Chain A
Amino acid sequence: MGKTIAEKIIQLHCAKKDIKIGDLIKAKVDFAFANDITGPLAIDVFKQIGSERVYDKNKVTFVPDHFTPNKDIKSAEQSKIIREFSQEQGLTNYFEVGKCGIEHALIPEKGLALPGQLIVGADSHTPTSGALGALAIGVGSTDLGAVLATGEIWLKVPETINFIYNGELNKWVGGKDLILYTIAQIGVDGANYKVMEFSGETIKNLSMDNRFTICNMAIEAGGKSGIIEADALTLEYLKDKTDKNFQLIKSDPDAQYVKVFEYNVSNIEPQVAFPHLPDKGKPISEVGEIRIDQSVIGSCTNGHIEDLRIAARILKNNKVDSKVRLIIIPATQQIYLDAMEEGLLKIFIEAGAVISPPTCGPCLGGHMGILAKGERAISTTNRNFVGRMGHPESEVYLSGPAVAAASAITGKISSPEEVV
Chain B
Amino acid sequence: MIIKGSVWKFGDNIDTDVIIPARYLNTSDTQELAAHCMEDYDRDFVKKIKEGDIIVAGENFGCGSSREHAPIAIKAAGISCIIAKSFARIFYRNAINIGLLIFESSETFEYSQQGDILEVDTEKGIIKNLSNNKKFQISPLPEFIQNIIAAKGLVEYTKKEVERRKL
Contacts and interface: CB of A to CB of B under 8 A. Distances in A.
Contact of A143 (B22, B40, B154): B154
A114 B93 CA distance: 26
Given A138-B90, A189-B59, A150 B67 contact: no
Contacts, number: 137
Interface in A45-68: 45, 48-51, 66-67
B145 to A, nearest CB: 9
B63 A122 contact: no
B107 interface: no
What's the interface size class on A, roughly? 35 or more
B163 interface: yes
Interface stretch (B13-21, B45-53, B115-123): B13-21
A383 B26 contact: no
Contact of A149 (B27, B69, B143, B162): B162
Given A142-B155, A145-B155, A277-B13, A124 B64 contact: yes
Contacts of B139: none
Given A24-B144, A37-B25, A142-B155, A392 B40 contact: yes
B159 interface: yes
Contacts of B97: 140, 142-143
Given A51-B162, A142-B98, A188-B60, A387 B17 contact: yes
Interface of B: 13, 15, 17-18, 21-23, 25-28, 40-41, 59-60, 63-69, 86, 88-90, 93-94, 97-98, 142-144, 153-155, 158-159, 161-163, 165
A366 B23 contact: yes
Given A38-B66, A364-B65, A385-B18, A48 B155 contact: yes
Contacts of A146: 154-155, 158
A44 B69 CA distance: 13
Nearest to A360: B22
Nearest to A279: B13
Interface stretch (A70-78, A90-98, A104-112, A298-306): A70-78
A246 B121 CA distance: 49
A139 B15 CA distance: 16
Contacts of A83: none
Interface string A135-156: 0001111110110011000100
A154 B40 contact: no
Interface in A176-191: 188-189
A74 B154 CA distance: 27
Nearest to B143: A24
Given A189-B88, A192-B88, A24 B66 contact: no
Given A224-B89, A365-B23, A142 B60 contact: no
Contact of A78 (B15, B26, B64): B26
Interface string A361-386: 00011100000000000000001011
Given A38-B68, A67-B26, A189 B63 contact: yes
Contacts of A175: none
Contacts of A192: 60, 86, 88-89
